[in-house]
Amino acid sequence: MDDEQLQSDIRKALDLDSRDPELSAALAAAHRGDSRWSRDEEGFLRFNGRIYVPDVLDLCLRVLRSRHDHPTAGHWGQNKTQALVLRDYAWPGLRAYVRDYVKSCTQCARVKTPRHLPYGTLKQLPIPERPWNSISMDLIEQLPSSGGYTAILVAVDRLTKQAIFIPTHDTLTASELADLFVMHVFSKHGVPSHVTSDRGSEFVSHFFRSLGKALDMRLHFTSGYHPEGDGQTERVNQTLEQYLRIYCNYQQDNWARLLPLAEFAYNNAPNATTGISPFFANKGYHPGLTVHPERDLTSARAREFAVDLEELHTELRKQIAEAQARYQVQADKHRLPAPDFRIGDLVYLKAEHIRTTRPSKKLSEKFLGPFEIIAKVGTHSYTLRLPDSMRAIHPVFHISQLEPATPNVIPGRVQPPPPPVIVDGEPEYEISEILDSKLDRRWKTCKLLYLVRWAGYEGTDEETSWILATELGHAQELVLDFHRTYPDKPGPLEKVA
């Protein structure tokens, strides 16, 4: 930042720009003795003591570079930047100029946290048709050791709200997770058609691949990254942790033995959403807490508790729908209508769910881009044109992951290009299944293509797509599984190269 050179150029511009009507009027006011205007001994024209900047030679732009972009300025927001400029300088339209400059700053857009409410009204998960057809799963980790266990796998049915608490350990693999699921969930309720988890599509797709191997069957499911999930498992986790805080011993090493009691207590208590206990919702009766040998279980009173489960589950869906409607009203109070993005618009992409090769997320950009929108998918998602370094990532993103890019309207301004984005390891938005393969002779570099299903994008136009075999380096396990099941299909790559 060379303020001396900048101010020297401002003095010279006063002579060059003397024919400008605004400058001529200002000089005339100073000559008349207007108290707001003055001409000092250094040759500066001043307005209320501030140096007047003529609109020539990119002088206003250079002032903003020194008071916004420079390391001593700090890339502050509109108000702070304006205050820094007004300490020394003035010109007509200064406030609007500063506003446009700051709003269109790409470096600010990539690193700063938006202060507005989330975009897009809440999109609820569908209400399940039957018990254990749709579940949510999560892990409570980093617990003190209890019987060799350090974590709890929590599985919750989204219709009846019944929960299963399974002791495990922090280093649980996808294969071990599938074994636990078979032992504790599948053996009682079968395979669900939908699984959701706050851990995202990668967690769920790994689990389903391992579950298919454990059961020796090919599974089809819907799942994935739902940025607007119902938060069900998180609330169950909080309830379970509260129970364990109350009943575990001082050494906190007996919580694993308490899990069966915690599970019973949770499932026997009325659920806030449905109004009935998960146990009753599944069985149609309440479990016994005490023994009454004298009670005649065939009496008319006992038959009063007999419930038509189909009617009960219909009532559950009604209660869940009403609860979702109430939640929708409250949630949408804290959301903004989705921007009307159009094809060709530029947007920034949240970096939160994308792993890069940078050492720390703490000092990394909060947003990547800007990237061009090339298609709209459904009502809440968009396809972006991503650079080659991000081609492993599925290019469809929910609107909550996007921020509009303000176009630059400052003449002569050249902004620094965005830093390179190199995706590290397996992408967060990944392939859940390979459906088919084919040979296409039109491709010169690689003639083998695979039809893949993208995890987290079920029910959209972008759910499946054909991609080159050379782009499946991170999904070789899926490729091998596909060819073991369909040995007559074209591939793998080494056989057709």
CA angle (280, 268, 240) in 5-degree steps: 135
Tens of pLDDT along 373-405? 998 877 778 889 888 777 767 788 888 889 999
User: Hey, what are 342's tokens?
Assistant: 């159009």
- pLDDT per residue over 184-214, tens digit each? 999 999 988 887 776 655 556 667 777 777 7
Evaluate whether the domain defined by 431-485 bears CATH number 2.40.50.40. yes
Q: For the segment 19-71, what is each residue's pLDDT rounded down to a tens digit?
A: 666 666 666 666 666 667 877 778 788 888 889 898 877 899 999 999 999 99
Mean pLDDT of the chain: 80
Most confident of 124-133, 287-296, 314-323, 452-461: 124-133
Residues of the chain with CATH 1.10.340: 3-111
Joined together, the tokens standing for residue 77 give 């927001």
Residue pLDDT, tens place only, 148-173 = 999 999 999 999 999 999 999 988 88
- Residue with the bigger pLDDT between 88 and 292: it is 88
337-428: CATH topology is SH3 type barrels. (2.30.30)
φ, ψ at 37 (rounded to 5°): -115, 145
* Cβ 389 vs Cβ 423: under 8 Å: yes
Q: Are 377 and 464 in contact (CB under 8 A)?
A: no
Query: CB atoms < 10 A from the CB of 135, how many?
Result: 27
pLDDT in tens, 326-375: 777 776 677 777 788 999 999 999 887 777 777 777 778 889 989 999 98
CATH pick for 134-279 out of 3.40.50.720, 3.30.460.10, 3.30.420.10, 2.40.50.840: 3.30.420.10
What is the structure's pLDDT at 428?
43
Q: What single-letter DSSP state applies at residue 243? A: H
Taking the model in full, what pTM does it have?
0.55
Which residue blocks in 445-492 are alpha helix, DSSP H?
Answer: 476-485
Higher pLDDT among residues 483 and 423, named by residue? 483
Instruction: Determine the Cα–Cα distance for residues 64 and 49; give it in Å rounded to an integer.
Output: 19
- Supply φ then ψ for residue 197, to 5 degrees: -155, 145
Span(s) in the chain for CATH 2.30.30: 337-428
Grade residue 225 by pLDDT with cuts at 50, 70 and 90: very low
Residue 347 bridge partners (DSSP): 371, 404
pLDDT of the residue at 486: 85
CATH class of 3-111: mainly alpha
Tokens describing residue 224: 């994935």
Q: Give Cα 216 to chain centroid, integer Å.
A: 33
Tokens for 42, please give them.
């250094």
| DSSP of 20-61 | SHHHHHHHHHHHHT-TTEEE-TTS-EEETTEEE--S-TTHHH
Q: For residues 185 and 178, give the distance between their C-alpha atoms in angstroms, rounded to a whole number.
A: 10
Residues of the chain above pLDDT 90, percent: 26
**Which residue reads 């202060």 in tokens?**
115
